[in-house]
């Protein structure tokens, strides 16, 4: 393969003060190899996300999903890293709606038991994965906005406080 492999990591800040903000970070080089073989639901150290002073040291992150280069979502209940054709109801990879055109208008119906066959990617991160979704489980000393965007330093409340 030509060029260096990389992931786009989308880190969701779960702190109540952040308002559900998310940040996009590139993962390449040695950190790229650390994520290969990990599954949805695994916890990783934040020092592998970002580089240099923008690394999320002190954070613990949980893998919640991802997608490949064509946009196929990863599904947690499919084993392996390959593409599988699955008959599914509404959920990850299928919204469960049927669009019908009547009288030059488009209507959306949501039937009970509506199923479709979709090609979805398994729950293991591989070389084909291009995006990884991460959720903060344990916070570090600095806020995510301070680390990634370079905003002024604001001490983040530690999740270990009692």
Interval 134-150: pLDDT, tens:
999 988 888 888 887 77
* Torsion angle of the four alpha carbons 70, 74, 78, 79, in this order, in degrees rounded to the nearest 10: 90
User: What is the mean predicted confidence (pLDDT) over 118-133?
Assistant: 92
Residue 3: pLDDT above 70?
no
Alpha helix locations (H) across the chain? 30-35, 144-148
For CA atoms 122, 126, 130, 135, give the dihedral sign: positive
Give the C-alpha separation, 147 to 30, whole Å: 20
pTM of the model as a whole: 0.78
Q: How is residue 136 annotated by DSSP?
A: E
Give the start-to-end residue ranges of the domains of the chain.
Answer: 6-76+123-148
């Amino acid at each position: 393969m030509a060029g260096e492999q990389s992931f786009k990591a989308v880190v969701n800040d779960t702190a109540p003060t952040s308002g559900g903000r998310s940040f996009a970070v590139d993962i390449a080089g040695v950190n790229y190899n650390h994520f290969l073989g990990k599954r949805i639901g695994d916890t990783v150290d934040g020092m592998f996300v970002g580089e240099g002073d923008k690394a999320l040291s002190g954070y613990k992150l949980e893998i919640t999903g991802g997608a490949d280069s064509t946009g196929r979502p990863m599904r947690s209940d499919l084993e392996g890293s390959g593409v599988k054709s699955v008959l599914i109801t509404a959920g990850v990879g299928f919204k469960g709606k049927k669009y019908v055109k009547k009288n030059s208008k488009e209507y959306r119906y949501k039937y009970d038991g509506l199923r479709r066959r979709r090609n979805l990617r398994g729950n293991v991160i591989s070389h084909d994965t291009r995006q990884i979704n991460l959720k903060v489980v344990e916070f570090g000393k600095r806020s995510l906005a301070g680390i990634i965007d370079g905003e002024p330093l604001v001490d983040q409340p530690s999740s270990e406080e009692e």
